[in-house]
Chain A
């Protein structure tokens, strides 16, 4: 075939450009570690990668949600432990004071201990979440101190009122999965989360029961102490035991969800790598090939371009 002198140089330039652009693309893959960077490189892989990246961002957020509520659950747990300690001590007092051998001054001493335990308990249930500065046990009405203690002139507690609500917040810990670590201070609605100190379903009403114990001690009514008061306080203790168990369950769920979020994020990473990651070994080999081809093209062109009949004419 007849070849025009110019068509040869044109072809050569096209080949150089092609080989150059191949090298640029491969070099880019090596430096970014990505086989695709723009949607047009591979639209389907790009779509998958974007969707996987969004899912990964969501998983990261779930992990962050989990660690936030985990620390809240820890705080709640420590309050529950302290409340249990108080409840145990009150149980001991009720048992000791319930026998008829105690004198009124002894009972009065018990009464003043109970009063201070009530104050302690009230302080505990008014605890704030150190992370947010919000009250832990006010339900969702967490900006306002949930429990208010009223005392008479002698310093005896006459009432503890609850001004929070019975709602709790849910937190998403996985797609469509929510959990609540919150415990409302009281719940007399008969539904929803079980109240910490008051719950109409279990008969728990810690503060009123403590107050009646205090009053019975003051009045020396040992039969009421060993009767109604002991039974009621048992209900309160059971309620606290339930709350500790619930907290433990939630913590277990959070730990499971946390490791699930991490492993999902890992598997998303490998999906992203499969869709858009460059296999460095392959890419580097291809780059070497492209460079060799480019060198060969340059060398052969340089040799051929010098060949002309003009070299042989006299």
Chain B
């Protein structure tokens, strides 16, 4: 028998229980817009019963736990998806800026009068300038003694050379900025590692005292996902709730200790890679924005830059060889048309640029009107070059452009796919762990009604106790 006072006690605990329900609902509602928040639920259990002659008698209900509603498998999937997503996003960003550096875009003006238009298509990059150079050689071949044709050739060649210089320096800049972004990623990763270790410490302390540190767990999960975005990590959870983190096979966080941090090192030629700071172990990363950055820098961008350099150096050699054997309008010979050796250094020989009549277009020292050398230069447009995989200059460059386009298209598609996967996983997680306002409001009403009912019980018991006391006085 609980008796009047026992039941009053039950009612009071019931009030507390429902109040906790209201509190948790309030916490969920307050965090409806908090990133990474996992909704919580109160676990209410019946209190231990009392054995009586007529059978066990209930003693009401208690809150035994406030729990996170979480699916650990989904969290692991999201972590690994973050790595893939980070990897491709880094590639996408870098390749987009490479595409901009290359400047190979089509321009057009829409024509309202025709249903299709293409006759006014122009391109803005090296491809147009290269064919412009060969056209200028043709023009000189057609009018070998014309100073204006020679002047046009000089300015076309200067435009081409400065575009080579510009593209090359943009690629250099892209490389530098990728190295910087790798350094920033490493700094962020180190902060996250120390954050995770700190959270591990708090979580295991709370765990030891028997409490469930829900909000700390959310915070740590956020950190782990952010770290996954930077690089692929392996985690294992210890008995005290602490998570150990390894990157590239090296355990960096163990319990509340940061065993080692990351740093970049120069693997030669400004090619920054990642190693552990104290142990000095060079890491092979497998995903995340760090590896994405490294792969795109040493892969596609390096290939692009070297193709453009090969193109420039082959052009310099070929044009100089042919032009060097010709004779100028004043009979001079042997001068280079281009100076420099690659895309970074190519310039038009200043002597020729200042005095276009010195361009050696004639094949004969005594015949200034001869055009055979200019004709050979113009023929370079369609001559297959051994140094360019037996392709002509224009074709080789167009293929380079298409190669970059392919890589960026792949990265774009991957990012789109990863976004879809990420959205799906988020929706799944949200369907388990996300706060739904309608649901919380319904819960709120049910706790409120239960609270009202318990309060009514207290009132009733109060009346009953009054009745008991009245029995004595009356």
Using CB atoms and an 8 Å cutoff, list the residues of chain A in contact with chain B: 1-7, 10-11, 14, 30-34, 36-44, 46-47, 49-51, 53-54, 57-58, 60-62, 64-65, 68-69, 131-134, 138-143, 165, 167, 169-172, 175-176, 178, 269-270, 272-274, 276-281, 308-310, 313
State whether A143 and B368 are in contact (beta carbons under 8 Å apart), knowing that A33-B108, A46-B402, A272-B118 are contacts in the complex: yes
Report which of B116, B362, B402, B432 forms a contact with A33, defined as CB distance below 8 A.
Answer: B116
Q: Are A37 and B370 neighbours in the complex by a CB distance under 8 Å?
A: no
Q: Are A3 and B366 neighbours in the complex by a CB distance under 8 Å?
A: no
Q: Chain A contacts of B95 at CB under 8 A?
A: 40
Q: Chain B contacts of A47 at CB under 8 A?
A: 398-399, 401-402, 405
Q: Are B144 and A65 neighbours in the complex by a CB distance under 8 Å?
A: no
In this complex, what residue of A is CB-closest to B378? A172
Q: Are A33 and B99 neighbours in the complex by a CB distance under 8 Å?
A: no
In this complex, what residue of A is CB-closest to B362? A140
State whether A65 and B367 are in contact (beta carbons under 8 Å apart), knowing that A7-B430, A57-B128 are contacts in the complex: no
Q: Are B423 and A11 neighbours in the complex by a CB distance under 8 Å?
A: yes
Q: Chain A contacts of B435 at CB under 8 A?
A: 4-6
B110 at the interface (CB under 8 A from A): yes
Q: Are A143 and B145 neighbours in the complex by a CB distance under 8 Å?
A: yes
Question: Could you jot down 18 A-B contacts, CB within 8 Å?
Answer: A2-B439, A7-B431, A10-B426, A37-B106, A38-B99, A40-B95, A41-B405, A46-B106, A51-B394, A53-B123, A53-B127, A53-B128, A142-B369, A167-B367, A272-B119, A274-B118, A280-B114, A310-B441
Q: Are A69 and B375 neighbours in the complex by a CB distance under 8 Å?
A: no
Q: Chain B contacts of A5 at CB under 8 A?
A: 32, 434-438
State whether A277 and B405 are in contact (beta carbons under 8 Å apart), knowing that A5-B434, A172-B141 are contacts in the complex: no
Smallest distance from the beta carbon of A92 to chain B beta carbons, Å?
A: 36
Q: How far is the CA of A281 from the CA of B111 in the complex (A)?
A: 12
Q: How far is the CA of A194 from the CA of B108 in the complex (A)?
A: 49
In this complex, what residue of A is CB-closest to B399? A47
In this complex, what residue of A is CB-closest to B31? A6
Q: Are B370 and A60 neighbours in the complex by a CB distance under 8 Å?
A: no
Q: Chain B contacts of A43 at CB under 8 A?
A: 401-406, 409
Q: Chain A contacts of B239 at CB under 8 A?
A: none
Report which of B107, B145, B408, B412 forms a contact with A142, defined as CB distance below 8 A.
Answer: B145
Besides A10-B430, A65-B141, A167-B367, 16 new A-B residue pairs in contact (Cβ under 8 A), listed by A number: A4-B435, A7-B431, A14-B419, A30-B110, A32-B106, A47-B399, A47-B402, A50-B104, A64-B142, A65-B139, A133-B145, A143-B145, A169-B371, A272-B121, A273-B116, A273-B121
Q: Chain A contacts of B123 at CB under 8 A?
A: 49-50, 53
Smallest distance from the beta carbon of B374 to chain A beta carbons, Å?
A: 9
Q: Chain B contacts of A141 at CB under 8 A?
A: 364, 366-369
Report which of A38, A280, A281 forms a contact with B110, defined as CB distance below 8 A.
Answer: A280
Smallest distance from the beta carbon of B226 to chain A beta carbons, Å?
A: 18
In this complex, what residue of A is CB-closest to B123? A53
Smallest distance from the beta carbon of A72 to chain B beta carbons, Å?
A: 9
Q: How far is the CA of A173 from the CA of B177 in the complex (A)?
A: 48
B51 at the interface (CB under 8 A from A): no
Q: Are B405 and A38 neighbours in the complex by a CB distance under 8 Å?
A: yes
